[in-house]
Amino acid sequence: MTTAIEPSTRATTYPPGLIALHWITALVFIGIFAAVELHEFYPKGDPTRDLLMLVHKSLGLTILFLVVLRIFIRSRNPAPSIIPVPPAWQTAIAHSTHAALYAAMIAMPLLGWLMSNAAGRPAPFFGLELPFIIGENKDLARTLKEVHEFIGSALYYVIGLHAIAALAHHHVFRDNTLHRMLPLATRK
């Protein structure tokens, strides 16, 4: 049985490991988006295009590992309180946005892995080939690609909303939301 932690005894920031994983995840997302956008500048069959897609896929699978680790750490550490406490509507939007981000961080790498397999290719991970989890099915590969691209496009907006909200909390609402996830924040 766990007991509730009084707000006054809770940490004012997330644990350092979770903060590090948050910012590493952000950097990996930048790499994923940069690789997939840049690959469009090269014709099919160009080695640079192929390399960029290999980087995109490998970093995508890295996100899956990072999110599992984040969920594990987060499940053992209560979120630091937001001071002052935001209105319920802000909390609801924040929880919805975080749920969407976590769902996407799990779904996108799995969709990419399935898409590669359905196209008859193994999923690459930094020079390794991950095992097939489904057999070849070109129609399914096309459908998975459409879903993967749709969610990927939506992620630009959800991540943007997440960043704008953090800045709004800091500069407009003047609470400690952003401070809780900064690497060099003061800890109690």
Per-block average pLDDT, block size 10, for the chain (188 residues)? 47 92 97 98 98 98 97 94 96 96 98 98 97 98 98 96 96 96 72
Please state, in angstroms and rounded to a whole number, the distance separating the CA atoms of residues 17 and 49.
Answer: 34
Residue tagged 């009084």 (tokens): 6
Domain 7-181 indexed as CATH 1.20.950: yes
Please state, in angstroms and rounded to a whole number, the distance separating the CA atoms of residues 126 and 123.
Answer: 10
Which pTM does this prediction carry? Answer: 0.89
CA dihedral 88, 94, 95, 100 (to 10 degrees): 150
Structure tokens at 165: 């909200």
Closest C-alpha to 70, from 29, 113, 111, 24? 24
